[in-house]
A and B are shown apart, each in its own frame.
Chain A
Amino acid sequence: MATANLDATFAALADPTRRAILARLAKGEASVMDLAKPFDMSQPAISKHLKVLERAGLISAGQDAQRRPRRLEPKPLAQATEWLERYRKFWEPSFNRLDNLLEELNNEEKRKEKRHGRR
């Protein structure tokens, strides 16, 4: 995977509208019109976003000349999100453990307060 491609991928992912478009396409292919609907955006505006996503290799356009439905290209996206997964794999179980530790510390503090005659 070339660095230039990855930069395009991350630039494409940085925009919330484009992330929402990808999330929509994760559920199945859709035409430009379908995609424009939930965003309250003109078709040209959506088309611009789609172009960015296409250049980044994150989506492709189907053969149907009329609708040209867009679909997700899962592989580059999965490659990009692997970066986040590494962090998640470390931090999620750590934070869950921190929940338990904080509960213990909270309880300790309460016990101490009781001992000092406060509630």
Chain B
Amino acid sequence: MAGDERQGTKMSPAKPGGDFKISPHGDREIVMTRSFNAPRQMVFDAMTKPELIQRWLLGPDGWTMPICEVDLRVGGSYRYVWRHSDGKEMGVRGTFREIVPPGKIVHTERFDQPWYPGEAIITAILTETAGRTTLRSTIQLSSTEGRDGMLKSGMERGVARSYDRLEEILATN
């Protein structure tokens, strides 16, 4: 809770991992929340301007985003392609359904890889309090088959690791 340190001189950077939270809602929705030490226009820009997106939306270490195209208008589409240092590639595309700068973006998401069939709909809401911005992102899969497909592909990598996170995931938000 560093909300009152307005001057930014002693603002300690968020702990590793920040206040990231992720939990299931029903059987095909995921809700993620995370707060940032910046006004929401800045966070909105970082989420929508290609030259900024390319600097952070990279997932685990080792990935870059050589292709990042964003046509930020309702009905406009976006296209991201990531490349790993080992040559692997991963791509996603989608369409914007609602854009209300700097507070709301709704877009679809479909991965090139068959992680899950169908589209997910992402609703991102940004709220600002005392210079801090909270992002709340809801990911709705089009079907439970999508979720199951994702689970199945995850299963191949083993599930032991996720058990470590159990208590956190079960925390009643």
Q: Which A residues form the contact surface with B (CB < 8 A)?
A: 1, 3, 6-7, 10-11, 13-14, 16-17, 19-20, 22-23, 26, 74-75, 77-103, 105-106, 109
In the complex, the answer to whether A88 meets B154 with C-beta atoms within 8 Å is no
In the complex, the answer to whether A83 meets B169 with C-beta atoms within 8 Å is no
- Write the nearest CB–CB distance from A98 to chain B, whole angstroms: 4
Cross-chain contact of A19 among B22, B163, B172 (Cβ < 8 A): B172
In the complex, the answer to whether A85 meets B46 with C-beta atoms within 8 Å is no
Q: Which B residues form the contact surface with A (CB < 8 A)?
A: 8, 13-14, 16-18, 20, 22-28, 30, 32, 34, 36-38, 42-43, 45-46, 52, 55-61, 115, 139, 144-145, 147-148, 150-152, 154-155, 159-163, 165-167, 169-173
In the complex, the answer to whether B16 meets A96 with C-beta atoms within 8 Å is yes
- Write the nearest CB–CB distance from A18 to chain B, whole angstroms: 9
In the complex, the answer to whether B56 meets A82 with C-beta atoms within 8 Å is no
Given A10-B24, A80-B151, A87-B139, 5 more A-B residue pairs with CB atoms under 8 Å apart are A7-B144, A74-B166, A81-B169, A88-B165, A106-B42
A90 and B159 in contact, given A20-B172, A78-B166, A99-B14 (Cβ under 8 angstroms):
no
In the complex, the answer to whether B162 meets A82 with C-beta atoms within 8 Å is yes
- Write the nearest CB–CB distance from B107 to chain A, whole angstroms: 15
How far apart are the CA atoms of A26 and B34 in the complex, in Å? 25
How far apart are the CA atoms of A20 and B173 in the complex, in Å? 10
A23 and B171 in contact, given A84-B24, A87-B139, A94-B56 (Cβ under 8 angstroms):
yes
How far apart are the CA atoms of A94 and B172 in the complex, in Å? 24
Complex A-B: 9 CB contacts under 8 Å: A1-B151, A16-B172, A26-B170, A77-B166, A79-B159, A87-B22, A95-B36, A102-B37, A103-B13
Cross-chain contact of B36 among A74, A88, A99 (Cβ < 8 A): A99
Interface centre among B144, B150, B162 (most CB of A within 10 A): B162
Cross-chain contact of B27 among A10, A86, A90 (Cβ < 8 A): A10
Which chain B residues lie closer than 8 Å to A105 at the CB level? Answer: 38, 42, 45-46, 52
In the complex, the answer to whether B13 meets A102 with C-beta atoms within 8 Å is no
A85 and B161 in contact, given A99-B36, A105-B38 (Cβ under 8 angstroms):
yes
